[in-house]
Structure 1
Amino acid sequence: MNAEVDRLSNLPDDIINKILSFNDTEHAIRTSILSSRWKNIWKSIPHLSFSYDCLTSLPKFYDYANLFLSSRNNEIELESVKLSFNEEVSQDFVKKILNYAFSHNVQKMSIKCLYQIENIEFPLSFFVSQSVKDLTLIGSYRDTRITSTRDLLALTTLHLIGVTFKYDNPDEFGGLFSKCPNLKNLTLADCEIDGFDCFITISHPQLSTLTVINGYGPHVVNVVAPHLKFLTVVNCKGGLISAPELSSLTYEIRDYFEFSTDGLLSLEKVDIYICDPNKAEAPKIIEMLQQFRNVKYLTLGLEIVEVLATSMQLLSHLPSPFANLTSFKIYPANTQYFPCRTFRPKEEEQKKINMPIEVKNYLLNGSPNATVTIFSHQDAQALKNATLAQQSMTDLQILLTKEKIECETNQSTAPMKRHRAIMNDQLKSHFENCWEDFFEQINQGGIKIKYIFSTLHRIEYLLEEELPASKKDRIQSRFSSLREEAYSVIKLITRSKAALVPDFVNLP
């Protein structure tokens, strides 16, 4: 081994386990062939991660999972489990992995169901655990149906994404969360309810953070949570909000929520966007704004201000509802959540935004010292470009780090493989028998290189578009450094692919 690998091998086990946790468990198991130092390290890693889409066949998925379950050090508890599978993987096998995790007091779980067929049921009753605190369940295209649950006494964070709740009446839906008595953080994204058409109520006495995005079809959402602090509602039908301790509200919908008479005395931060409001809705908007009289940080969608500008006579008789504002922003609605929004010609998006004095007085007379920031459509697009570029760079950085670790592992084992290939005819015979699977691994390297290049091109495209002046230099400097690192990793992957090949093989 070279000095680089020796330094890695000399790290403490807990540091190596942390490094291995960034990869799928199958890659961690493969490190056992590096040396006697590495032979058993994987058996003590506190993280389990199996992704069916990263393996070439169902038997391999079963083989690696069974090897892990049968060989792992059972005295070491599991901290986290990430499992990704499709309909080919039997639910009994999934349950076997989950039961192992539960028996080792796993605290964090992320389960992704890559179903390609409709109406697959995934009962939450699988999750029989007194240790799980953080649970994420991701379905695919709303074909994953949740039918039942058990008490999850330790659960504090629950994310349900792309699932359909299958219940016969609203009480059963509400009962889902009542069986998690310590739940504090709940996210429901791209979810639907099958079985009834009416109001649904999300109610929980301990809930602190709630996010509801793109869901529930025709159902009207009510929120009743006495200790709720942070609420985000996007693209859902508005109902009643009863949350007297609410401090932050983000609200991006077409309808209007009603607020309970107990008031919003603790509310400090509000971001409100309404999809294409019209002049007739001005009274509703004004009534809504009256509820936010204590806010310090207020962001309104540009469309709301435009509607207020059509009702200046109505505003002239009303005092400003805001006495505590320190920051006021106007921002165009996020079109990602509002595909129904009216198309705006390019020239209209580039127009300078003017706020009539009557509207300005209504919004700001009560807080004359508030900082005012107005974003045009062009400003908003520039900020969105910057956000997308930064997120893409972060994702690429994570991928490059993982690939460097995997390439170093492959390179350190390559000399052994070459030596054995020359000295041992049996290995040559075995290699020929596994020809198809071997070149699948080689092909995976090519796919990764293509993905890295495509990500670089996507970021370059975003950086060619308009960016906020305050962020442009920093983002471009970061990308320049990241691009050099990406080219370096591409070379590593290329060398790693060649290093995997025994001397008796001629690559096409």
Structure 2
Amino acid sequence: MWRISDSNEESIILEKIKRRRQCDNQNEENDENEVSEDRLSDLPDSILLHILSFLNTKHVVRTCILSTRWKHLWKRTPAVTLYTSRFSISKQFPIFVSKILTLRDTSTALHALDIDCGGVIEPPLLKKILNYICSHNTNLQELGISVTGDTDLVMSCVFSCRALTSLKLSLYPRGCYNSTPTLFPKSLNMPALTNLDLTNFTFCGGENGCAQPFLAFSRLNSLVIRSCTVKDGQTLNISSETLVNLAMHNNSPEFDKIELSAPSLCTFTFIGSPYQQICGDGLSSVKQVNIDARHFLTWEKLPMVLLSWLQDLANVKLLTVSSITLQILYLVPDLLEVKLHSLCNLKSLEVELTPLNRRLELPLIKNVMLKKAAAKSRKEVAKLRKAFKAGLKPPPIPDGIVGFLLQNSPSAKVDFTTKYPGTFKIKA
């Protein structure tokens, strides 16, 4: 979606540039009559500008010291990326942004702008940024804005950018950080939009109690929804003939249902608490699923929701789940006796081991284990309680649950991974 690479890639490119210059300087010192060959600088402007468009603008500006060939080249890059996280002193960021917008060659078309202010931005600077966007809205194709400020002003600017193919918005009203989601407009005239990434928005329901915010995007390919909710309704409708990738992260529990109609959907990613039932045929076409269930509040509901999702995954081939997701699923009464009619085409199952939260998940899992022991005998309960007091911890993956998932695909490959090697030991 976005051209901008991570800091490691930026460092590699910049290091290559520096090494080339050092090599050339060394050659000049060894033989003053030999003309050093700077192949990078000999490339046409169009190629150099394309290379620079993959870097953070802070690093792009630094290339001006390499030689006179590079002195003003940064002013004509078609992509501008400005992240406050790249500045060790926060006060430097607004100064840098202001200078970039002032010194950049205004005759050069701006194709991509990604700006993350990392919190509250002063109104004058926000207006300057938005005015700059509006002045280049004809050619602007990729836009990303993460800011705490006047959200109405931001949305008004976005309305003018009708050539966008990618839009990423993370908006928080000034003085209401992490609350009061921004109202998402019921219609946006962006016929070319293929990628949409939204954080902290409210989708308004209609007379039928169903919010349908994405109907106008006839070419939508990728949709990411983070920390969003529904107002005046209990159903979020996601209907798209072209949608291929859908990701939902930490959305509100204040709506009950996701009505999904996306016959082309291939990848479904979920992070957070699985509050919402998914209805429609949206999951039947999915080939790759990633589920990382977290921070649960209504335990009684979440296991059954997870099970219903799995039962709808008729054609999934790649399934990635966290170990906590499996712990939640295991709370379904008599789960291992349930006969799945899905996951018949599964080729790969990856389980990511994640530590249980000591105050939330751990006590609950222990209680579940005690209940299962009580079904056998009082002696088993007493034995298990004693073991818990002695330091016994629940297994990271409930016994039998991997086999439960593989009951219709016993030959699927199973891998275990973790970001916590100090907590979990995985055999190579």
TM-score interval w.r.t. the shorter chain?
0.5 to 0.7
Q: In 1, Cα distance between the equivalents of 2:259 and 2:357?
A: 20
Superposed displacement of residue 134, structure 1? 1.3
Higher-helix-fraction structure? 1
Deviation at 1:214?
0.6
Contact 2:166 2:194 survives alignment (8 Å): yes
Q: Aligned partners of 1:355, 1:133: CA distance in 2, in Å?
A: 46
Corresponding letter in the other structure for 2:192:
A
Alignment of 1:28-427 (within 5 A): 28-29=60-61, 31-32=63-64, 35-51=67-83, 54=87, 56=92, 58=94, 60-68=96-104, 71-72=105-106, 74=107, 76-85=108-117, 86-90=120-124, 91-103=126-138, 105-113=139-147, 115=148, 120-127=151-158, 128-139=160-171, 141-143=177-179, 145-148=182-185, 150-161=188-199, 163-165=200-202, 167=204, 174=211, 176-193=213-230, 195-196=231-232, 198-227=234-263, 228-234=265-271, 235-242=273-280, 243=282, 244-252=284-292, 290-292=311-313, 295-296=316-317, 301-303=325-327, 306-307=330-331, 310=334, 315=337, 321=341, 324-325=344-345, 327=347, 329=349, 331=351, 340-343=360-363, 347-349=392-394, 354-355=399-400, 367=409, 369-371=410-412, 373=414, 383-385=418-420
Amino acid at match of 1:92: K
Structure 1 residue identity aligned to 2:131: K
- Pair member with larger Rg: 1
Judged with a 3 Å threshold, the aligned counterparts in structure 2 of structure 1 residues 310 and 146 are, in CA distance, closer, same or farther, namely closer
Within 2, Cα distance between the matches of 1:78 and 1:289?
Answer: 44
Which whole-Å CA distance do the structure 1 matches of 2:238 and 2:170 have between them?
A: 20
User: Relative to structure 1, is the Cα distance of residues 13 and 385 closer, same or farther in structure 2, using a 3 angstrom cutoff?
Assistant: farther
Deviation at residue 63 of structure 1 after TM alignment: 3.1
* One-letter identity of the residue aligned with 2:188: R
* CA distance 1:321–1:48, shift in 2 (3 Å): closer
For residue 84 of structure 1, give the secondary structure of its aligned residue in structure 2.
strand
Consecutive unaligned residues of structure 1, counting only runs of 5 or more, are: 255-272, 387-463, 471-508
Q: Would the alpha carbon gap of residues 170 and 222 (structure 1) be closer, same or farther in structure 2, given more than 3 Å must change?
A: farther
1:102 aligned counterpart, secondary structure: coil
Change (3 A) 1:366 1:172: closer
Identity of aligned residues (%): 19
**Counterpart of 1:231 in 2: which secondary structure?**
strand
1:240–1:37 Cα change, 3 Å: closer
Quote the Cα distance in structure 1 between the aligned partners of 2:257 and 2:270: 9
Mapped to 1, the partners of 2:135 and 2:61 lie a distance apart of 18
Q: Partners of 1:337 and 1:179 in 2: how far apart?
A: 41
Residue 221 of structure 1 contacts residue 236 of structure 1 at CA under 8 Å; is this kept in 2? no
TM-aligned CA deviation for residue 27 of structure 1: 5.2
Structure 1, residues 455-476: CA drift from partner, whole Å, max 9, x if none? xxxxxxxxx6656443xxxxxx
CA distance in 2, matches of 1:213, 1:337: 19
Contact 1:106 1:132 in 2 (8 A): yes
The structural deviation recorded for 1:155 is 0.5
Mark the runs of 5 or more structure 2 residues left unpaired by the alignment: 1-20, 26-35, 366-387
Structural mapping, 1:484-499, within 5 Å: none
TM-score under structure 2 normalisation? 0.64
Residues 244 and 267, structure 2, Cα contact 8 Å, conserved in 1: yes
Deviation of 1:224 (Å): 2.4
User: CA 1:49/1:100 → structure 2, altered by over 3 Å: closer, same or farther?
Assistant: farther
The residue type paired with residue 139 of structure 1 is: L
**Distance in structure 2 (CA, Å) of the matches to 1:351 and 1:27:** 43
Equivalenced residue count is: 350
RMSD, matched Cα: 4.5
Alpha carbons 1:276, 1:341 under 8 Å: kept: no
In the other structure, the counterpart of 1:13 is 45
Contact 1:335 1:341 in 2 (8 A): no
SS in 2 for 1:183: coil
